Structure 1
Amino acid sequence: MRPPKSAARAQVTGVPVLSVAYGATVGERAVAGGFGLIVRFRLRDREAAASFDALVARTLPEIARHEPGTLAYVVHAVPDEPLLRVFYELYADRAAFDAHEQQPHTQRFLTQREDYLAGFEVTFLRGEAGFLPGV
């Protein structure tokens, strides 16, 4: 099935990424024009994975505490790939992402993560339509 021409496309990896539109209901906030990304981190080994996870655990509360423009920051482990972590990040707009990148806790994460990585891949997303339940 081909994606519709209006679908957002990933710019870094070339993988098509679609944003599906749903009507927002009471207690939900509509999201359009947001800025997001998906990052796939490949970790060197199990010891590096444990250290990376600890770094993430120290960083997440700082993001929640200091970044009102960060709408979602979700870290996924992949059951069949223990050395892979997938981040989904959603920001109110590009300015919120830029503010995130400048935070001391983000700068610390970006520097320290290099000790644990075998590689990573970033897919940037452009919000087309959607909603955040319960917001």
Structure 2
Amino acid sequence: MSEGFALYVRFTLRDEQAAAAFDGLCVRTLQGIQEEPGTLTYVSHVPIDEPLVRVFYELYEDRAAFEAHEAQPHVRSFLKEREQYLAGVEVTFLDAIGGKGTTSG
């Protein structure tokens, strides 16, 4: 059994106006993501004391589910539209080594 395919993305936004617009874009995009069967967890966070940062945690059934997610029209639109709000983006892919919700010992 697979442990899934996970990543986190850290977005740094240009300013407060960009942050508000980015948040609105996220709300619209998350509506479509709710319907993706292979997307197990997709959560957007605001780190405490970092109002211009957003962190996404994403967990998929497997790499194929991630690739299906990336191909969705709502995700492709998000990827294109987000650029105008960003000062930077970092993506980190994760390997599970254990914990609640994983299948490893």
Fold shared per TM-score above 0.5: yes
Identity of aligned residues (%): 61
- The match for 1:55 among 6, 22, 25 is 25
- Once residues 79 and 50 of structure 1 are traced to their aligned partners in structure 2, the CA distance between those partners, rounded to angstroms, is 16
Stretches of structure 2 lacking an aligned partner (at least 5 in a row): none
Q: How many residues are aligned here?
A: 101
- Once residues 126 and 109 of structure 1 are traced to their aligned partners in structure 2, the CA distance between those partners, rounded to angstroms, is 25
- The match for 2:81 among 108, 112, 133 is 112
- Once residues 40 and 88 of structure 2 are traced to their aligned partners in structure 1, the CA distance between those partners, rounded to angstroms, is 26
Which amino acid in 2 is paired with 1:52? Answer: F
- Once residues 32 and 85 of structure 1 are traced to their aligned partners in structure 2, the CA distance between those partners, rounded to angstroms, is 28
Which amino acid in 2 is paired with 1:76? Answer: H
Larger fraction in helix: 2
Q: What is the TM-score of this pair, normalised by structure 2?
A: 0.90
1:85-96 alignment runs, 5 A limit: 85-96=54-65
- The match for 1:121 among 80, 90, 94 is 90
Which amino acid in 1 is paired with 2:67? Answer: D
1:1-135 alignment runs, 5 A limit: 32-65=2-35, 67-129=36-98, 130-131=100-101
Q: What is the TM-score of this pair, normalised by structure 1?
A: 0.71
Structure 1 segments (4+ residues) deviating >4 Å: none
